[in-house]
């Protein structure tokens, strides 16, 4: 290693121009021509990445030094801008541009950066395989670049993946502008403007990604402090103007990079506006409450994972932005008649009938260039084109997913519609009925059985198999009630595959209960005595059902033991049932969860139709696996909901009994969550006689939100009782305590004190931390919002002095505190929602307080997908 670091290594200087990248590669190859070929190739790759970074971010003369010795290689890349630190852009290593430092980390034996007064040098060493392990290096120093005076702005509810995707997209656009400007092809952008935009982008992106990397284990949406220079206003406007030019060039096809979709554009505008507004003294506004154009939702984007396509049992194909297929799973290849490997790389139009190709191309181009989604997220009945030219009726569902470098992948799922085309023979099925030991099988008719949806003469086709699996899964997935879902699955299976369907499940007490008995013809005999709780599963039970409940199967049986020959009462019960059904054959398969066997599925056929045969076993096994997983998930969901309900009830306080005060409260959990969330209310009497009223909402709808809510509620009550200070000061102390939590909560809250001042008047002193204003409803129906005392939400600035308001409350008036789930709807403005609340409340002014609260929920909470908390207080007249 001494030789590598000795002075006098060959070096060469390059101008800060794009052509220097290729020249640096040639210099390294010529200087290190005696190195091993694979090592030399890696050195060329890494030096091109580092020189590219210097051209983009340093924009000074670049010096490259290369030396070989002791079997290793040392390469140094120096620039004259040491104050510009390395810029970490984040994102996975497989993403496109902006990952030069990641490549060096992955491929170099050692790497690092040396910064002096006038020069910054990034270096790496390469050692051939089998060499002694080199001493460890310190790695990168990746502090965000800072120079001069600066301020920290706060970005609220930042979605991490979307933020990183937008960072990658900005970086790619600016990189292309550098290359385009070098060839003089960018009207409207000067070299000076582009340099300012690059520097400003470095400051923003480095700060954002460095913070997100530190917070990677936290919630998807969280607060993000970001340092920016105090004079960042003008450079920010330059960056926005340059990016506008780049986006327009991308839309016109002047750049290789595609323009951003609405979600990315909306987030980037919000990011820039927050920085500019907060530098001008404005308060932060959360990303999740910003209005935005259609298609630019606030939710976290789904990250692209090719493994999920391969693991899916639904026919799935993924295509990139160039309309090329990049991933195909087995069910899709079978459905469309292609080998999966042959489909990869084909244009997506290879699967689209000719009369629909122009329409598809126009819609696809419109989506990429305008960002306006027309079919994304919708289920469409369309024909798909097989390789042999045949049309297959399918239902298509397309969604977009994001790669780490800002590109979009379109994932299409195909659900077959209707019956299989008659021209194709069934695939992968063997003919012939098996013969079990101990007796001959029931006779099988060679003709098709028209009583079911499946042609029984040759088994099920691949299309029918996929359709059956898709319909079974969809039936169970869309019904919240497990037993009703299983009954509907039974109807599906008896329409497609069998005359009878039975589902037996273990109970929590390890007993067996028959929860579903379905017959293809409703007018047929119904063996009700065979439903419900079954006889015990004993050690002597050896019949098909007993074996399946122990995990064996799927099992095919075509004859039953003679009466009186069954090994146990459960076996005798099962045999007698099939004699009553008149079954000629049956298949019983275990229903498995990831942990254990949870039950059994039995399918039976009767009469002179084709009996079940051995080639039917794989399909029934797949059905059993799919039903078992969904039953287990449904049970876990029900168990989670029950636990969550008990947890939420335990967190809600009992209202105190206070003279001359009527109190009422309501809590309604979101129908879309596990019945637990961050909304809360509280009411308690203070030692000095005042009554404390609290309403709050922690960001989130999960167990973490409930934990944070409980911590804040308990801390608030402790601070209020101990200090007995004005509401604004109590909220300030609560915010300070909030910042000491391991995972600081972002929350809104109203804390108020209600006290009697005499002459039939009460006073309500309160302070609001970003919460919706309390509503005062007079006994005559007049209403007004108590809007004073509003301040910043909790979790932003613990040192902030919080305002406070004092309002007179006439006797027999109602003060209503509430959370946003009561009024906010995605389809209407907040002002309209507040007016709607006033109208409902005014009509209930003279109703008893319990009626007042219940009617508000009935009138306003229908269709809400958020938690709701309501606290109402009505002071009485003096005695």
Q: pLDDT of 286-326, one tens digit each?
A: 776 665 544 444 344 456 767 767 766 678 899 888 888 99
Q: Which of 632, 801, 570, 746 is nearest to 156 (CA)?
A: 746
Helix (H/G/I), strand (E/B), else coil: 559: coil
- Nearest-angstrom CA–CA distance, 714 and 720: 10
599: left (phi over 0), alpha (psi -120 to 50) or beta: left
DSSP 379: E
Within its chain, how far is the Cα of 759 from the centroid? 56
Rounded alpha-carbon distances, angstroms, from residue 645 to 182, 507, 598, 733: 63, 22, 25, 31
- The list of the chain residues with pLDDT below 50 reads 1-2, 92-96, 216-221, 293-301, 417-459, 523, 671, 673-674
- Nearest-angstrom CA–CA distance, 664 and 655: 8
> How many Cα atoms sit within 13 Å of 328 on the Cβ side?
22
For residue range 190-229, what is the model confidence (pLDDT) as tens digits? 888 888 888 888 888 877 777 766 654 344 446 788 888 8
- Nearest-angstrom CA–CA distance, 526 and 517: 8
Rounded alpha-carbon distances, angstroms, from residue 95 to 87, 161, 175, 393, 858: 16, 13, 15, 36, 50
Q: Which helix (H) or strand (E) holds 263?
A: helix 262-279
Rounded alpha-carbon distances, angstroms, from residue 618 to 90, 448, 466, 615: 45, 21, 13, 7
CB 747 within 8 A of CB 794: yes
Per-position b or e across 395-427, b if 16+ CB within 10 A of its CB = ebbbebbbbbbbbbbbbbbbbbbeebeeeeebe
The pLDDT score that the predictor gives to residue 519 is 81
CB 706 within 8 A of CB 673: no
Cβ count within 10 A of residue 592: 18
The pLDDT score that the predictor gives to residue 217 is 39
Q: Which of 525, 676, 705, 510 is nearest to 606 (CA)?
A: 525
CB 181 within 8 A of CB 18: no
Separation of first and last alpha carbons in the chain: 94
Helix (H/G/I), strand (E/B), else coil: 481: coil
Report the DSSP beta bridge partners of residue 697: 679, 748
CB 685 within 8 A of CB 658: yes
- Nearest-angstrom CA–CA distance, 382 and 319: 18
CB 296 within 8 A of CB 249: no
- Nearest-angstrom CA–CA distance, 787 and 821: 19
CB 511 within 8 A of CB 536: yes
CB 728 within 8 A of CB 693: no
- Nearest-angstrom CA–CA distance, 602 and 617: 12
Q: Which of 772, 709, 769, 693 is nearest to 741 (CA)?
A: 709
DSSP 132: P
Q: Which of 633, 590, 641 is nearest to 479 (CA)?
A: 633
Q: Which helix (H) or strand (E) holds 245?
A: helix 233-251
């Amino acid at each position: 290693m001494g030789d590598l670091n000795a002075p006098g290594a060959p070096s060469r200087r390059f101008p800060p121009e794009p052509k220097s990248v290729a020249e640096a590669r040639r210099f390294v190859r010529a200087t290190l021509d005696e190195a091993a070929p694979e090592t030399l190739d890696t050195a060329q790759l890494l030096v091109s990445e580092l020189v590219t970074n210097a051209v983009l971010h340093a924009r000074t003369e670049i010096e490259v030094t290369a030396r070989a010795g002791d079997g290793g290689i040392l390469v140094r890349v120096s620039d004259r801008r040491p104050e510009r630190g390395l810029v970490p852009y984040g994102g996975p290593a497989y993403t496109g541009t902006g990952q030069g430092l990641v490549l060096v980390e992955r491929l170099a034996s050692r790497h690092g950066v040396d910064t002096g007064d006038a020069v910054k040098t990034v270096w790496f060493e390469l050692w051939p395989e089998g060499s002694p392990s080199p001493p460890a290096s310190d790695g990168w120093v990746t502090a965000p670049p800072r120079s001069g005076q600066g301020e920290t702005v706060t970005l609220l509810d930042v979605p991490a993946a979307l933020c990183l995707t937008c960072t990658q997209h900005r970086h790619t656009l600016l990189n292309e502008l550098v290359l385009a400007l070098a060839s003089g092809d960018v009207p409207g952008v000067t070299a000076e403007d582009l340099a300012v935009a690059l520097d400003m982008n470095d400051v923003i992106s480095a700060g954002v990604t460095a913070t997100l990397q530190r917070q990677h284990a936290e919630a998807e949406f969280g607060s993000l402090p970001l340092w920016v220079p105090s004079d960042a206003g003008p450079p920010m406007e330059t960056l926005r103007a340059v990016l506008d030019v780049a986006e327009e060039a991308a839309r016109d096809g002047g750049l290789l990079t595609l323009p951003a979709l609405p979600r990315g554009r909306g987030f980037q505008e919000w990011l820039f506006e927050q920085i500019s507004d907060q530098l001008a003294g404005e308060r932060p506004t959360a990303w999740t409450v910003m209005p935005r154009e259609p298609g630019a939702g606030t939710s976290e984007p789904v990250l692209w994972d090719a493994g999920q396509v391969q693991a899916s049992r639904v026919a799935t194909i993924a295509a990139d932005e160039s309309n090329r297929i990049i991933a195909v799973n087995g069910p899709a290849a079978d459905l469309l008649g292609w080998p999966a490997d042959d489909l990869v790389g084909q244009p997506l139009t290879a699967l689209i009938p000719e009369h629909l190709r122009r329409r598809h191309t126009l819609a696809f181009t419109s989506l990429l260039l305008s960002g306006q989604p027309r079919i994304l997220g919708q289920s469409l009945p369309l024909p798909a084109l097989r390789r042999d030219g045949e049309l297959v009726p399918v239902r298509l569902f397309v969604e977009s997913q994001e790669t780490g470098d800002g590109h979009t992948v379109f994932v299409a799922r195909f659900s077959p519609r209707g019956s299989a085309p008659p021209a194709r023979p069934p695939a992968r099925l063997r003919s012939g009925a098996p013969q079990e030991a101990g007796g001959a099988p029931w006779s099988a008719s060679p003709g098709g059985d028209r009583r079911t949806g499946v042609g029984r003469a040759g088994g099920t086709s691949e299309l029918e198999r996929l359709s059956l699996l898709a319909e079974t899964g969809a039936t169970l997935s869309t019904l919240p009630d497990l037993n009703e879902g299983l009954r509907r699955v039974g109807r599906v299976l008896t329409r497609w595959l069998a005359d009878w369907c039975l589902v037996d499940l273990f109970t929590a007490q390890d007993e067996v209960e028959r929860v579903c008995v379905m017959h293809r013809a409703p007018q047929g005999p119904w063996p009700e005595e065979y439903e419900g709780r079954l006889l015990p599963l004993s050690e002597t039970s050896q019949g098909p059902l007993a074996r399946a409940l122990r995990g064996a199967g799927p099992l095919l049986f075509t004859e039953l033991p003679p009466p009186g020959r069954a090994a146990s009462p459960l076996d005798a019960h099962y045999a007698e049932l099939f004699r009553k059904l008149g079954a000629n054959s049956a298949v019983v398969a275990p229903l498995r969860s990831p942990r254990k066997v949870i039950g059994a599925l039995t399918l039976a056929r009767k009469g002179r139709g084709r009996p079940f045969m051995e080639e039917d076993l794989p399909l029934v096994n797949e059905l059993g696996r799919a039903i078992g997983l969904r039953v287990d998930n449904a049970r876990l969901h029900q168990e989670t909901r029950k636990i969550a309900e008990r947890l939420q009830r335990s967190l809600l306080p009992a209202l105190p009994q206070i003279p001359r005060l009527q109190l009422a409260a309501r809590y309604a959990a979101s129908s879309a969550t596990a019945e637990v969330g961050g909304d809360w209310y509280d009411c308690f009497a203070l030692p000095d006689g005042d009554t404390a009223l609290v309403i709050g909402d922690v960001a989130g709808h999960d167990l973490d939100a409930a934990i944070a809510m409980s911590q804040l509620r308990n801390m608030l009550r402790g601070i209020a009782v101990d200090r007995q200070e004005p509401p604004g000061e109590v909220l300030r102390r609560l915010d300070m305590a909030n910042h000491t939590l391991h995972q600081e909560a972002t929350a809104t809250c109203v804390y108020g004190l209600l006290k009697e001042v005499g002459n039939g008047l009460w006073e309500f002193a309160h302070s609001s931390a970003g919460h919706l204003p309390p509503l005062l409803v007079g006994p005559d129906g007049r209403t007004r919002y108590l809007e004073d005392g509003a301040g910043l939400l909790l979790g932003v600035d613990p040192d902030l002095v919080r305002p406070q308001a004092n309002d007179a409350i006439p006797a027999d008036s109602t003060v209503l505190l509430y959370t946003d789930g009561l009024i906010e709807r995605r389809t209407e403005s907040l002002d309209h929602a507040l007016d709607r609340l006033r109208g409902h409340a005014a009509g209930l002014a003279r109703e008893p307080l319990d009626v007042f609260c219940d009617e508000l929920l009935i009138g306003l909470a229908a269709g809400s997908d958020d938690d709701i908390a309501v606290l109402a207080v009505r002071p009485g007249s003096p005695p």
